[in-house]
């Protein structure tokens, strides 16, 4: 089977004339895998339909938000009800109140929360609050962790950047970058020495407690624990960036699974049910620094937009009702094992599958142990993944177009669908033999 991409090519030519790289977020441009991005016309359930009418089983799911698949009926109904009452007031309203109550009641340590419109905005604001609260300037981040395109955190930040020649973005001043300290993941001695040297100046340490934007670099509990202890000892705030892990691996994200309660947490992706929502929150005394309660300014014209809040509320209610996490994890484990078997059987190079909950990642080499840090990602990751990506695309399997991005399952990826996907994957793998 061979697919046509002529229409996508035409659209892409047009798009490149009017937008940088033809896209509105870098990894969408297929630079990591080569070729032309597939233009999607519609999506339903687990299926994407492109502009030529060809279909794909989607494992990217809008980069994670769609845990119940495309066009979930409960979210649609909530959005429609909200639309009937208008779609933006710019005043106090009850939509955000209900969502905030639901979240604070169900997430330990989330005493107060503020809604914004993206994960980036949530992180940017949390970092400002941490600086305002502590009166310190330094932020500690981890090599390969992505926290959105916040200036001070676009330092060794993973997938979209791993594709580029230089890991740092242009347009960020040296002074800004100089206030960011970077530590290796999975390395307690390095962590201790950074805190020993700079602890008194660190406003906050920010980490993806499940780093999933640069491969899936699952951390050991001991490492996260150590970070938490060092933050407490040195009076630095701990920020868990749960934009990707929150509501994905457990309702309360990695904070719930590890039992570590950070001072601040950031959310995005799933929290908006596929609409633009971000949130940051945590300790009351810290959050009360935020305007108008306190001196740290943060605002948004469309913040807590009623339509997006309704989508988020429907999503959150459904997650609490259905508790899909065990089933998602079991299905993912089985799927990944079978996928690994096929890779082993057909691919001319060794691979290893890493997964956690409903997230999975193919490591494109045989590594001695689980890959937990940036420096252990195989050098052949990009070109090898590109081959697999295109073989799968041709079989109607849509993976995120980068070897540094993870795949996701939704609750709609049932055994029948996954069985069918594995059959097509086998056909695809055979072409790479």
Ligand X SMILES: *Cc1c(COP(=O)(O)O)cnc(C)c1O
Among 32, 268, 281, 401, contact with ligand X (rule: CB under 6 A): 268
Nearer to ligand X, 116 or 336 (CB): 116
What's the min distance (Å) between Cβ of 209 and ligand X?
Answer: 9
Of 72, 241, 382, 387, catalytic: 241
Nearer to ligand X, 244 or 421 (CB): 244
Nearer to ligand X, 119 or 282 (CB): 119
What's the min distance (Å) between Cβ of 61 and ligand X?
Answer: 13
Nearer to ligand X, 243 or 315 (CB): 243
Tokens of 376: 């252990």
Helices (H) and strands (E) in the chain, counts: 14, 14
Nearer to ligand X, 69 or 148 (CB): 148
Angle between helices 73-83 and 306-322 in degrees, nearest 10: 150
Element housing 178 (H / E): helix 174-178
Binding span for ligand X by CB under 6 A among 146-154, 188-196, 358-366, 371-379:
146-154
Residue nearest to ligand X (CB): 119
Of 141, 269, 318, 376, catalytic: 269
What's the min distance (Å) between Cβ of 213 and ligand X?
Answer: 5
| Cβ neighbours, 10 Å, residue 272 | 26
Calpha distance 66→147 (Å, rounded): 20
Tell me which residues in 224-243 interact with ligand X (CB under 6 A): 241, 243
For residue 292, cis peptide bond before it (omega within 30 degrees of 0): yes
Binding span for ligand X by CB under 6 A among 37-45, 115-123, 176-184, 225-233:
115-123
What's the min distance (Å) between Cβ of 207 and ligand X?
Answer: 9
Instruction: Report yes or no: 181 and 141 within 8 Å, Cβ to Cβ.
Output: yes
Nearer to ligand X, 213 or 351 (CB): 213
Binding span for ligand X by CB under 6 A among 7-15, 118-126, 154-162, 251-259:
118-126
What Å distances lie between residue 254 and 22, 183, 299, 320, CA to CA? 35, 20, 28, 16
Place of tokens 């999607």: 40
Nearer to ligand X, 269 or 376 (CB): 269
* Sheet of strand 237-241: strand arrangement: 112-116, 278-282, 264-267, 237-241, 202-207, 138-142, 180-183
Annotated catalytic residue 146: yes
| 278-282 and 264-267 beta bridge pairing | antiparallel
Site string for ligand X, 277-306 (x = CB under 6 A): -x----------------------------
What's the min distance (Å) between Cβ of 117 and ligand X?
Answer: 8
Tokens of 271: 């929290």
Tell me which residues in 122-141 interact with ligand X (CB under 6 A): 123
Give me the half-sphere count of Cα atoms (radius 13 Å) on the Cβ side of residue 109. Answer: 18
What's the min distance (Å) between Cβ of 118 and ligand X?
Answer: 4
Tokens of 40: 């999607």
Tokens of 195: 């805190």
Tokens of 425: 């994957």
Annotated catalytic residue 241: yes
| Cβ neighbours, 10 Å, residue 175 | 8
Q: Is 213 in the site for ligand X (CB under 6 A)?
A: yes
Annotated catalytic residue 398: no
Calpha distance 235→233 (Å, rounded): 6
What's the min distance (Å) between Cβ of 269 and ligand X?
Answer: 6
Tokens of 98: 């209900």
Calpha distance 306→129 (Å, rounded): 25
Among 148, 209, 252, 281, contact with ligand X (rule: CB under 6 A): 148
Instruction: Report yes or no: 234 and 194 within 8 Å, Cβ to Cβ.
Output: no
Of 146, 267, 280, 398, catalytic: 146
Among 162, 185, 244, 315, contact with ligand X (rule: CB under 6 A): 244
Bridge partners for 356 per DSSP = 359
Among 120, 180, 310, 358, contact with ligand X (rule: CB under 6 A): 120
Active site residues: 146, 241, 269
Residues near ligand X (CB under 6 A) are 118-120, 123, 146-148, 208, 213, 241, 243-244, 268-269, 278
């Amino acid at each position: 089977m061979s697919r046509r991409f002529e229409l996508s090519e035409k659209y892409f030519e047009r798009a490149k004339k009017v937008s940088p790289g033809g896209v509105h977020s870098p990894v969408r441009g297929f630079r990591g895998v080569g070729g032309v991005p597939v233009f999607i016309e519609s999506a339903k359930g687990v299926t994407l339909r492109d502009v030529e009418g060809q279909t794909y089983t989607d494992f990217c799911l809008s980069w994670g938000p769609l845990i119940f698949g495309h066009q979930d009926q409960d979210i649609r109904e909530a959005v429609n009800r909200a639309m009937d009452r208008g779609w933006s007031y710019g005043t106090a309203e009850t939509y955000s109140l209900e969502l905030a109550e639901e979240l604070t009641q169900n997430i330990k340590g989330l005493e107060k929360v503020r809604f914004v419109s993206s994960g980036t905005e949530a992180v940017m604001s949390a970092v400002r609050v941490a600086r305002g609260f502590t009166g310190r300037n330094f932020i500690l981040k981890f090599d390969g962790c992505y926290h959105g395109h916040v200036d001070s955190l676009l330092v060794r930040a993973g997938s979209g950047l791993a594709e580029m020649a230089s890991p740092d973005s242009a347009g960020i001043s040296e002074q800004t970058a100089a206030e960011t300290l970077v530590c290796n993941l999975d390395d307690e001695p390095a962590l201790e020495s950074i805190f020993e040297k700079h602890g008194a100046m660190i406003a906050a340490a920010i980490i993806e407690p499940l780093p999933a934007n640069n491969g899936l670099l699952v951390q050991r509990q001991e490492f996260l624990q150590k970070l938490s202890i060092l933050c407490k000892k040195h009076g630095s705030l701990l920020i868990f960036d749960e934009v990707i892990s929150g509501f994905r691996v457990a309702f309360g994200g990695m904070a719930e699974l590890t039992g570590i309660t950070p001072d601040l947490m950031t959310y995005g992706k799933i929290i908006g049910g596929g609409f633009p929502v971000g949130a940051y929150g945590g300790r009351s005394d810290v959050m009360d620094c935020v305007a108008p309660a306190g001196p740290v300014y943060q605002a948004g014209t469309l913040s807590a937009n009623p339509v997006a809040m309704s989508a988020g509320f429907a999503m959150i209610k459904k997650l609490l009702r259905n508790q899909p996490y065990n089933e998602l994890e079991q299905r993912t484990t089985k799927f990944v094992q079978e996928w690994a078997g096929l890779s082993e059987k057909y691919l001319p190079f060794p691979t290893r599958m890493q997964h956690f909950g409903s997230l999975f990642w193919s490591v494109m080499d045989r590594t001695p142990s689980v890959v937990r840090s940036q420096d252990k990602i195989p050098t052949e990751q990009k070109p090898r993944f590109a081959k697999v990506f295109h073989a799968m695309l041709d079989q109607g399997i849509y993976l995120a177009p980068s070897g540094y991005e993870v795949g996701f399952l939704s609750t709609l990826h049932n055994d029948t669908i996954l069985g069918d996907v594995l059959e097509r994957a086998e056909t695809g793998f055979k072409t790479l033999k």
